[in-house]
């Protein structure tokens, strides 16, 4: 069931993002007087198609990993004399720039709309209150303490642990001090703490900013009660079910869920004797955690189970909500922030600050899409917005075969006063295809390694 849900989630997400991207090209092309021959979501043989009154074929193809808008173009085939004024290549360079830019811009617009909806409807998060500080860690050396609430990182206001993670990831490669503002419990005035770091999160796979900082978020007491079990994983094979409370492991009492997690993570491949309470009855089960590999040949145990959610005290809840007008500015700001973060992450990957193993392909996208869909509509919409931003940013990279590569050619044409030669464009196309193909294979390889 989990695989089917992941598959359906990724089809929905990619279908929406690709449709919006291609519709951007299509809509502007029509308004620039270019005849559109085909609007296809997916590649390969069409599963469904129809023609509109303008002669454009709308199709849904078998391979849902992309899409395209095919326009009338003399470089791709003969064009009737009476239709030459509708050919893409006959349009001014500024109209061609507008058409090519429209796809990525449509993705940014989709993200803005998604964030606007989230801000208007409102989201509930938990206050970023520190539960524990690891002795000797950067947070400890900087003076941060348990029960303090973090309110800003590097001068930017934060209201959740997600915000903090984004700010900390954006600082990858930082040397020196990170400025973190926090206030004591019951206080309104915050103090600034200088947290010393060196080569912050460089080549960490995956980046774990809170762990590296030495901070554990505060959580309400969580009994070791199973909330969900993933099919075909170790917990399911052992017979664990939602509602089971883990009382003891190998004869040792289990204090809470985190204590149980520590035992599981430290026991990859080892058989554990569990004492479980189910419906008032005690029973014994044998659990053998699977092995999940981390960097430096380190492995941890993994069972494919989650904790039963607990209620957070009201004083730790934070609701983020804006009016329809105020939400516009917030959504534009969030989209811009995430776009810059994505672009900066690409830059840091190129210069070696971020490991290329963080590249994600269709398998990881499907898994994350499925998990976000199961978590709730809010998480699903937020993930879709971020993926739409990533698609927009990647398409604007100056790589031949991508929209950004075409824009480079057109900008050169504006400067020189004449188009880039067909020979140069053909060479660029081959280079671009090789580069994009290599990146896709790398992403797929790292996806399979994560499995």
Q: What is the pLDDT of residues 264-305, one digit of tens each?
A: 999 999 999 999 999 889 999 999 999 877 655 678 888 999
DSSP annotation string for 330-359? HHHHHHHHHHHHHHHHHHHHHHTSS-GGG-
* Rounded Cα gap, residues 27 and 17, in angstroms: 15
Q: What are the phi and psi torsion angles at 307 (to 5°)?
A: -85, 150
Task: Determine the pLDDT at residue 294.
Answer: 66
DSSP letters of 115-153? HHHHHHH-EEEE--BEEEE-TTSHHHHHT--TT-EEEEE
Phi then psi for residue 196, to 5 deg, are -75, 130
Q: What is the pLDDT of residue 13?
A: 84
Please list the active-site residues: 22
Residue segments in the chain with a per-residue pLDDT below the cut of 50: 1
Structure confidence at residue 1 (pLDDT): 47
**pLDDT score for 282:** 92
Which domains are seen in the chain, by residue range?
A: 2-32+91-119+385-450 (no CATH), 130-217 (2.30.42.10), 226-308 (2.30.42.10)
pLDDT tens string 16-42: 898 999 999 999 999 999 999 999 998
Q: Where are the alpha helices (DSSP H) in 201-323?
A: 209-213, 234-238, 257-265
Query: What pLDDT score was predicted for residue 236?
Result: 92
Task: Give the pair of three-digit tokens for residue 13.
Answer: 């997400």
Q: Would you call 395 exposed, middle or buried from its count of C-beta atoms within 10 A (0-12, 13-18, 19+)? A: buried
The contacts of residue 368 (CB under 8 Å, 6+ apart) are 360, 383
Instruction: Tell me whether the omega of the peptide bond preceding residue 39 falls within 30 degrees of 0, making it cis.
Output: no
Predicted TM-score (pTM) of this structure: 0.81
């Amino acid at each position: 069931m989990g695989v089917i849900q992941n598959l359906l989630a990724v089809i929905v997400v990619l279908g929406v993002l690709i449709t919006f991207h291609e519709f951007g090209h299509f809509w502007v092309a029509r308004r620039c007087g270019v005849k559109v021959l085909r609007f296809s979501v997916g590649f390969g043989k069409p599963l469904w198609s129809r023609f509109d009154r303008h002669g454009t074929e709308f199709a849904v193809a078998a391979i849902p990993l992309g899409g395209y808008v095919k326009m009338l173009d003399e470089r791709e085939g003969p064009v009737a004399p009476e239709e030459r004024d509708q050919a893409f290549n006959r349009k001014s360079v500024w109209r061609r720039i507008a058409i090519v830019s429209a796809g990525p811009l449509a993705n940014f617009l989709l993200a803005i709309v998604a964030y606007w909806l989230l801000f208007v409807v409102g989201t509930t998060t938990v206050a970023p209150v520190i539960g524990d500080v690891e002795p000797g860690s950067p947070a400890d050396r900087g003076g941060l303490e348990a029960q303090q609430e973090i309110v800003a990182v590097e001068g930017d206001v934060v209201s959740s642990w997600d915000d903090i993670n984004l700010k900390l990831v954006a600082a990858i490669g930082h040397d020196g001090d990170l400025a973190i503002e926090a206030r004591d419990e019951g206080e309104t005035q915050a103090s600034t703490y200088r947290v010393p770091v060196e080569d912050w999160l460089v080549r960490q796979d995956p980046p774990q900013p809170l762990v590296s900082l030495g901070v554990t978020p505060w959580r309400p007491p969580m009994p070791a009660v199973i909330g969900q079990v993933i099919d075909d994983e170790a917990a399911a094979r052992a017979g664990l079910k939602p509602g089971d409370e883990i009382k003891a492991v190998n004869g040792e009492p289990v204090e809470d869920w985190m204590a149980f997690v520590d035992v599981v993570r430290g026991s990859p491949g080892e058989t554990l004797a569990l004492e479980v309470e189910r419906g008032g009855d005690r029973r014994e089960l044998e659990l053998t955690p699977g092995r999940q590999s981390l960097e430096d040949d380190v492995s941890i145990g993994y069972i494919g189970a989650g904790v039963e959610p607990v209620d957070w005290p009201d004083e730790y809840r934070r609701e983020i909500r804006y009016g329809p007008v105020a939400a516009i500015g917030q959504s534009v700001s969030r989209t811009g922030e995430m776009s810059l973060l994505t672009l900066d992450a690409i830059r840091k990957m190129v210069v070696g600050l971020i490991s290329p193993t963080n590249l994600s392909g269709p398998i990881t996208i499907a898994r994350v899409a499925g998990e976000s869909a199961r978590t709730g509509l809010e998480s699903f919409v937020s993930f879709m917005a971020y993926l739409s931003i990533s698609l927009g940013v990647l398409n604007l990279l100056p790589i031949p075969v991508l929209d950004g590569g075409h824009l480079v050619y057109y900008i050169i044409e504006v400067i020189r006063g004449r188009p880039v030669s067909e020979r140069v464009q053909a060479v660029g196309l081959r280079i671009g295809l090789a580069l994009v193909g290599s990146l896709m294979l790398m992403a797929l390889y790292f996806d399979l390694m994560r499995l």
